[in-house]
């Protein structure tokens, strides 16, 4: 498959370490993948679903102790502890390698070692990067074949280069107490042991695409961000692209696959999905910022996905998809999860593989973090530019969070530096879904808090450096909040497809076609400039309420920001301190 000396020598090391019975290279052919699917069904690792209703779809159940990402067991193993920063768990790299290799040693005995060459981004794109993952899990192989571009073509592009990321995954015994997901940013190395859950073992996902790539981006002058990418096409056929970062439970996937309101669709407006989770962005030859989605699939949360909340995501799952930890409907061998519809199956197996009756059980059938891994090409609104190796030019960057009060529906930063400040103070209030108190403000800068592979103070500095490089070609930066509540605790803004009305205003601001009102925090729309046509039970007065900027509330917000910033010490860029002082003055 390859003569690359760095690849072959590392694989020899891995073989000696894990001692597999057999080694299989993943060539990306449908023939090989089909044989692996068949094998996984024979061993019970996967269950083939109804071929007529869900062609090419499979169900997988993880171990019950292995159902989500484990942040407490996720480490950044930089040479110096201070380089990991206060928001990451750190382990000394020498200690980590020894511990991990001791856990991994001999763990492939009686198993097959699968070698997966994969490309993050379209193969051959100047914005793409290559990784090699070694695993003893067919589930991992088949998910990686959906989530990334795998096979011989990747090795052909890599050639003799040593610029690739090593990834070792060992299921071992799926023991919680020995489960570790470790990143060695200076070595381009990821090691995951004792897990079989996607977020911990699909090493191209958050491990490479954000933690390792954010470090690479800082050193090489580009950006790896936890952002969706979407295109907005107007009736004249012009498309403008935006990227957007939201913490979890803030409607990121729904926005990525948004369907515009009927009135807009009739006029010819369209939304195109380039990515639902991760954006890699680099300055293009014309000076603008260009983005690719490094992934080739969607690794989405199943519960809550339905034909009302996100029809495009649901349609994406109807062929060639792997479902993890959902309900199996035994009547027709299909899948179900909470809020898919109001008709839970009575004759079913829950996510643990136990008999389950959805009409009588007081237990949930699907795990709350159950997943689907679906090919992006299945998505009805996938962008025609999805495979464009040059990426798409970004006009606007949107930050957002879930705030009951304080933050208006939408505002624009005063300039790039102010926009970095806006991103750095991103926050959401905890909901009943999260454990602990409700309404506590949790800051998640740029939605990167769990995913930044180095010191977050340096990460902010990198954003400022990118702004200097881009100059007047830099995207405009905005903040949205779809979650303002009225006095009775109801959402004021309708959300979902109607968020398109806000996107339209953002694009018009980027084009200089609409004015705005300056406030202490940035520019908010004039109420008459957001199109409310076709919105029932929503008035201009309602809109004015959620565009309001309350100085006293923002003065209190500034105190919380100051507290949050303290942890970054002298690595917090002075510019952020200056921005905070300006906010305080503006709110007096």
Q: Is 402 annotated as a binding residue?
A: yes
Residue 379 annotated as catalytic? no
Rounded Cα–Cα distance for residues 313 and 494 (Å): 20
Q: Is 499 annotated as a binding residue?
A: yes
Residues 6+ apart with CB under 8 A from 109: 19, 20, 21
Rounded Cα–Cα distance for residues 549 and 522 (Å): 10
What DSSP designation does 497 have? G
Q: Is 324 annotated as a binding residue?
A: no
Q: Is 198 annotated as a binding residue?
A: yes
Q: Is 254 annotated as a binding residue?
A: yes
Residues 6+ apart with CB under 8 A from 413: 419, 421, 422, 476, 477, 478, 479, 522
**Residue 160's beta-bridge partner residues?**
none
Q: Is 252 annotated as a binding residue?
A: yes
Q: Is 89 annotated as a binding residue?
A: no
Q: Is 370 annotated as a binding residue?
A: yes
Question: Of how many residues is the chain composed?
Answer: 588
Is residue 300 within 8 A of residue 372, CB to CB? The reply is yes
Structure tokens at 281: 């962005």
Q: Is 57 annotated as a binding residue?
A: no
Q: Is 277 annotated as a binding residue?
A: yes
Sign of CA dihedral 286, 288, 294, 296: negative
Packed helices 574-586 and 551-566: angle between N→C axes, nearest 10 degrees: 160
Q: Is 515 exposed, middle or buried, given 0-12, 13-18 or 19+ CB atoms closer than 10 A?
A: exposed
Q: Is 423 annotated as a binding residue?
A: no
CA dihedral of 203, 206, 212, 217, whole degrees rounded to 10: 140
Q: Is 320 annotated as a binding residue?
A: no
Residue identified by tokens 């003065």 is: 555
For 37-65, letters b (16+ CB in 10 Å) and e give beebeeeebbbebeeeebeebbbbbbbee
Per annotation, catalytic residue among 250, 381, 452, 510: 250
Q: Is 249 annotated as a binding residue?
A: yes
Q: Is 404 annotated as a binding residue?
A: no
Q: Is 199 annotated as a binding residue?
A: yes
**Residue 300's beta-bridge partner residues?**
372
Q: Is 197 annotated as a binding residue?
A: yes
Q: Is 251 annotated as a binding residue?
A: yes
Active site residues: 250
Positions at the binding site for GTP: 249-254, 371, 402, 496-499
Positions at the binding site: 69, 197-199, 206, 226, 248-254, 277, 369-371, 402, 496-499
Positions at the binding site for substrate: 69, 197-199, 248, 369-371
Positions at the binding site for Mn(2+): 206, 226, 277
């Amino acid at each position: 498959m390859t003569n690359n000396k760095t690849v072959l020598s590392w694989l020899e090391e891995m073989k000696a370490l894990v001692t597999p019975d057999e080694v299989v290279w993943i060539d990306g052919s449908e023939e090989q993948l089909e044989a692996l699917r068949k094998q996984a069904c024979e061993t019970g690792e996967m269950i083939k679903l109804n071929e007529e209703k869900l062609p090419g779809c499979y169900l997988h159940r993880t171990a019950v102790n292995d159902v989500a990402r484990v942040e407490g067991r996720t480490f950044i193993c930089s040479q110096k502890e201070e380089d990991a920063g206060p928001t990451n768990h750190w382990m000394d790299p020498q200690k980590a390698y020894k511990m991990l290799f001791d856990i991994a040693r001999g763990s492939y005995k009686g198993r097959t070692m699968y070698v997966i060459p994969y490309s993050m981004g379209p193969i051959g794109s100047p914005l793409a990067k290559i990784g090699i993952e070694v695993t003893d899990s067919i589930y991992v192989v088949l998910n990686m074949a959906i989530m990334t571009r795998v096979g011989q073509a990747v090795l052909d592009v890599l050639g003799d280069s040593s610029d690739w990321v090593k990834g070792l995954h060992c299921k071992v015994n799926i023991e919680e107490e020995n489960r570790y997901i470790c990143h060695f940013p200076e070595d381009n190395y990821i090691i995951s042991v004792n897990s079989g859950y996607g977020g911990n073992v699909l090493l191209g996902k958050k491990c490479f695409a954000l933690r390792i790539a954010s470090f690479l981006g800082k050193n090489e002058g580009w950006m790896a961000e936890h952002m969706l990418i979407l295109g907005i096409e107007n009736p004249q056929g012009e498309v403008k692209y935006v990227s957007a970062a939201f913490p979890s439970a803030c409607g990121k996937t729904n926005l990525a696959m948004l369907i515009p309101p009927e009135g807009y669709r009739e006029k010819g407006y369209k939304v195109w999905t380039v990515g639902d989770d991760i954006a890699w962005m680099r300055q293009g030859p014309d000076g603008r910022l260009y983005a690719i989605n490094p992934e080739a699939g969607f690794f989405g949360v199943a519960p809550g996905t339905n034909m009302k909340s996100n029809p495009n995501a649901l349609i994406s799952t109807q062929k060639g998809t792997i479902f993890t930890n959902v309900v199996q409907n035994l009547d027709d061998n299909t899948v179900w999860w909470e809020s898919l519809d109001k008709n839970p199956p009575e004759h079913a197996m829950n996510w643990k593989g136990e008999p389950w009756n959805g009409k009588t059980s007081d237990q949930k059938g699907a795990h709350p973090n159950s997943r689907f891994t679906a090919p992006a090409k299945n998505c009805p609104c996938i962008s025609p530019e999805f495979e464009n190796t040059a990426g798409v030019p970004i006009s606007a960057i949107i930050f957002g969070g879930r705030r009951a009060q304080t933050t208006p529906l939408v505002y624009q930063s005063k300039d790039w530096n102010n926009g970095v400040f806006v991103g750095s103070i991103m926050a959401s209030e905890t909901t009943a879904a999260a454990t602990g108190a409700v309404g506590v403000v949790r800051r998640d800068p740029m939605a990167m808090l769990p995913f930044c592979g180095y010191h977050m103070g340096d990460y902010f500095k990198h954003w400022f450096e990118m702004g200097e490089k881009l100059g007047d070609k830099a995207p405009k930066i905005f903040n949205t909040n779809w979650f303002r509540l009225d006095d009775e605790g109801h959402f004021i803004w309708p959300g979902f497809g109607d968020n398109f009305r806000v996107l339209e205003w953002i694009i018009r601001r980027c084009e200089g076609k609409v004015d705005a009102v300056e406030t202490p925090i940035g520019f908010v729309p004039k109420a008459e400039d957001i199109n409310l046509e076709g919105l029932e039970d929503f008035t201009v007065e309602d809109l004015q309420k959620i565009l309001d900027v309350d100085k006293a509330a923002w003065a209190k917000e500034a105190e919380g920001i100051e507290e949050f910033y303290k942890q970054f010490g002298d690595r917090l860029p002075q510019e952020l301190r200056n921005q905070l002082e300006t906010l305080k003055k503006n709110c007096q």
